[in-house]
Amino acid sequence: MTYIHDTITKLQKTSPAQAEFYQAVEEVLDSLQPILETSEKYQLHSIIERMIEPERQIMFRVPWVDDQGKVQVNKGYRIEFNSALGPYKGGLRFHPSVNAGIIKFLGFEQIFKNALTGLPIGGGKGGANFDPKGKSDGEIMRFCQSFINELYRHIGPTTDVPAGDIGVGAREIGYMFGQYKRLTGNYDGVFTGKSLLWGGSLVRKEATGYGCVYFAQYMLEAKGDILAGKRCLVSGAGNVAIYTIEKLYQLGAIPVSCSDSSGTIYHEAGVNLDTLKELKEVRKVRLNEYVTAHPDAKFIPVADYPADGNAVWRLPAELAFPCATQNELSEADAKALVANGCIGVSEGANMPSTQDAVEVFLDAKIHYGPGKAANAGGVATSQLEMAQNASMQRWSFEEVDEKLKVIMKNIFISASETAAEFGEPHNLVLGANIAGFRKVADAMIEQGVV
């Protein structure tokens, strides 16, 4: 514990005001205690000290002109965290909350997530404090082009391959790829999440949500249970949440909730997927309009949320899928879920549960799939897109989906077997962290002090 405390204290001095990053590092270090105590080589090679420092941090201004002719300025980031297993891989997030601490926490998590997939990809993350909401296509294009005017120097198909994240979909990827191609003259697989018209992969849009559900399915099956018939809470209303809901229906479960920044929908009969897609993918409006089409559903505005948490987690259900954002599920939420009979949580978002909430799940010994394992389907399918680009092939939806299922099953097996190896078979946080850490750490040792 002294080692962890000293490491966090040092981080706070060298990387000030990055609370989410400290939280991510502390969670991982807590899990790594058993292997650090039994394997002296990791301390001898100062692996932890090297792993928590990014190989490269890029910060830059992004000036662009809005539709009124006024120059706006945002801050852009790319954290190239670890390339021991392959080129840096991780999304770009465009959201007002983006800062250096958020990007570093996401990049640090990405190291272990990518290692768990078993694919040859390192960890990185990036983004900007730009809000695409309410912006015209022209404004978004001009911002993306300005963003790439700097970032293009640092990315490439064998060095760093960004993808999408919150606020970055196929439209934004298209504008960035076009500017990259214009500046470099290269038509290569430098981005994933591309349009199917010019190098994208089938299933990429669905992959994080689908993978999150597959992971829940494997957790249940390992204990002789099934997903079919289970009532499920889902937070969020973006790609991850929508396709989590879609896959839950395909596997016979009943998703009864979704949410956005305005509030939560609770539809006891089951969320209508067509209506949700119409509101969020076509019309791009708030969820409160859902009840107009479905008066039997209930809308809970944010103003009515409990002071100590999120209304979506106070609803009755057997499974929970946090698919919105970091730290959306508090300790009080976790206790409410367990009290209401929840038997499993599979995280579609990155670090959506606070550390105290995670402890509640582990103490209750319910099924708990941490984000770095359960939501790895997105980055796994990104690598499958890279493989298709490199071989100039296009795989069918069924072929990519089958590969995704196999990857998610292997992640579950790796995490669960590692957890059992260290005497805590129910603790997939420990299992996922140690399994990912060993792959990266051993590669770092073999590649020397670099």
**Residue 39 pLDDT:** 87
What CATH number should be reported for the domain whose range is 207-369?
3.40.50.720
Non-local (6+) Cβ contacts of 93 within 8 A are 102, 103, 106, 125, 126, 127, 128, 165, 166, 167, 168
Non-local (6+) Cβ contacts of 378 within 8 A are 91, 163, 204, 207, 208, 211, 240
- Tens of pLDDT, residue by residue over 182-220, are 999 999 999 999 999 999 999 999 999 999 999 999 999
Yes or no: say if 233 and 271 are a contact pair by the CB < 8 Å rule: no
- Mind telling me the catalytic residues? 125
Q: Which residue has the tokens 């590969």?
A: 403
Q: b or e along 91-100 (b: 16 or more beta carbons within 10 Å of the residue's beta carbon)?
A: bbbbbeebeb
**Residue 142 pLDDT:** 98
- Tens of pLDDT, residue by residue over 326-377, are 999 999 999 999 999 999 999 999 999 999 999 999 999 999 999 999 999 9
Superfamily of domain 2-188: Leucine Dehydrogenase, chain A, domain 1 (3.40.50.10860)
Report the alpha-carbon distance of residue 333 to residue 247 in Å, rounded: 24
Which whole number is the average pLDDT over 142-153? 98
Burial class, 197, CB count within 10 angstroms (exposed 0-12 / middle 13-18 / buried 19+):
exposed
Distances 157 to 57, 86, 145, 189 between C-alpha atoms, Å: 19, 11, 19, 5
**Residue 29 pLDDT:** 94
**Residue 1 pLDDT:** 61
Report the alpha-carbon distance of residue 183 to residue 205 in Å, rounded: 27
- Tens of pLDDT, residue by residue over 78-134, are 999 999 999 999 999 999 999 999 999 999 999 999 999 999 999 999 999 999 999
Host H or E run for residue 124: strand 123-128
pLDDT tier at 2, thresholds 50, 70, 90: confident
Yes or no: say if 20 and 102 are a contact pair by the CB < 8 Å rule: yes
Strand order in the sheet with 254-255: 254-255, 231-234, 319-321, 344-346, 367-369
Within 238-381, strands assigned E span: 254-255, 257-260, 263-266, 298-301, 319-321, 344-346, 367-369
Domain range annotation of the chain: 2-188, 207-369
Yes or no: say if 172 and 145 are a contact pair by the CB < 8 Å rule: no
In Å, the largest CA–CA distance within the chain is 63
Average confidence score pLDDT of the chain = 96
- Are 2-188 and 207-369 equal in CATH topology? yes
**Residue 178 pLDDT:** 98
List, in sequence order, every residue forming a beta bridge with 90; answer none if it has no partner: 162
- Tens of pLDDT, residue by residue over 249-274, are 999 999 999 999 999 999 999 999 99
Report the alpha-carbon distance of residue 332 to residue 308 in Å, rounded: 6
Report the alpha-carbon distance of residue 9 to residue 442 in Å, rounded: 26
- Tens of pLDDT, residue by residue over 302-338, are 999 999 999 999 999 999 999 999 999 999 999 999 9
Strands 254-255 and 257-260: unpaired
Share above pLDDT 70 across residues of the chain, in percent, rounded to a whole number: 100
